[in-house]
Structures are given as C-alpha cells and as structure tokens.
Amino acid sequence: MEITLLGTHDWKQWRNDGATEVGPFEVFRITGNEVIGDENVALGELPSTTFGRSYAVNGPMAVPASGYGVYQSGPEVLVAYDTGTPAVGDSYGPKPSQGTVVKNYPATCECLGIVDSTNKIMRARWHPIDHIIGKLAGSLSQGSTATVNVWAGAGGSEAVITSLTVTGRDWLMKTGATAIASGKKVVVEWIDGVPYVVEAECP
C-alpha cells in the first residue's frame, strides 16, 4: 500500500544525532536545533531513558545515525504504532529504545484512525507530553523537588518504565506540611513549562 504523507508542504528537516536508525514514520525525541544556511534543522534521536516532552515523527524514509531526513510538524501526522488495533481516541506515546508508539504510554498522540494495518501506520493528532503518573523515588517536601519514577500502562495494569524519571516540583503544600513520602503515587503536570506534582497518594 502506498502511503501519502500528510501535509507535505509542512515537512521540515532533521538530523539523527543518536546511534540508532529511526525508521519510516517512527518517532524521535527532539534534542536541539542547528542552522544550516537559511534552514533550521531539528536534532533528534530514538526515544531513550532520557525523558523529554517534545517528540516528532519521521517521514517515509529511514534515517540512519548522523543522517538527515524530513519529519512531520503536525498537528496531524502518520505514525507507526507497536501492536494491537488502535481505536479512535486511544492515546499512544514513545517507549525507550523503540521508534513505534505504544498504547497507554506518556501520550504524545491521539489516534484518528488506522491508515495501513499491515505496516501498522495510524493517523494521529500530535502534541507534547503534558501529564505523567509515577511514584516518588525520594520524599518531596514543601517547595522542593524530587525524582519521580514514571509509570505507564492500561488502567489497573500500570507498571514502572525502567530508568525513566522526571524531576517533580511541589507548589501546593503549605509551609510546615509533612513531606510526601518516597514511594507514594503522584501525578505530574507541566504548567508554564514546570513539572509540578499536582496530586499525591494519601498518607
């Protein structure tokens, strides 16, 4: 099946700064930017255990390490998914060490329908990661920060994503409040670009 890439007039250049090839319609974490002549070129790499909010979707050709390619700028993209049969409204996100998005991972996209079930390509609405769930790796006291181990998975079957962490910051606790203990479940939300712990498991 021949796939016509959406929004070809919006294609932008990128360079694979990672050590691993990124395949057709696979995702990459944006790590920076460089200017070549009059062009802004995004820098990126295959998802890893380095957390990032901003990801993009490669075009229809594989991009090797140190190679250049084109990516889709959204807001709608064609993206390769992992397994199963995506339904409209399902959320998918990047998983460390692979280019296909996975259902119920920290969400970068919302399924709008399957384009090619053989090659596992879906149409999706693209966005940055705005929320994650996880457990504190240390206590979080008033006005401070703590490492959060990121969890993901279907409701009721969530599990830790090995080595993927976020630094969460407190905003809500009053002065003198008891710290939230290590191991407690939390919700982290990016507000004004800051990852705040907005909810926490009861003591």
pLDDT tens, 4-15? 555 444 789 999
Of 186 and 73, the structure prediction assigns the larger pLDDT to 186
pLDDT for 170 equals 98
pLDDT for 74 equals 80
113-118 contacts at long range (C-beta below 8 A, 24 or more positions apart): 113/86, 113/88, 114/85, 114/86, 115/3, 115/78, 116/1, 116/3, 117/85, 118/1
Stretch 123-144: mean pLDDT: 97
Residue 16: pLDDT above 80? yes
Share of the chain above pLDDT 70, in %: 96
pLDDT for 10 equals 72
pLDDT for 7 equals 46
pLDDT for 4 equals 54
Rounded to whole angstroms, the maximal C-alpha distance in the chain is: 62
CATH numeric code, 131-200:
2.40.50
Model pTM? 0.91
Residues 6+ apart with CB under 8 A from 74: 7, 57, 125, 126, 127
pLDDT for 5 equals 52
Tens of pLDDT, residue by residue over 140-149, are 999 999 999 9
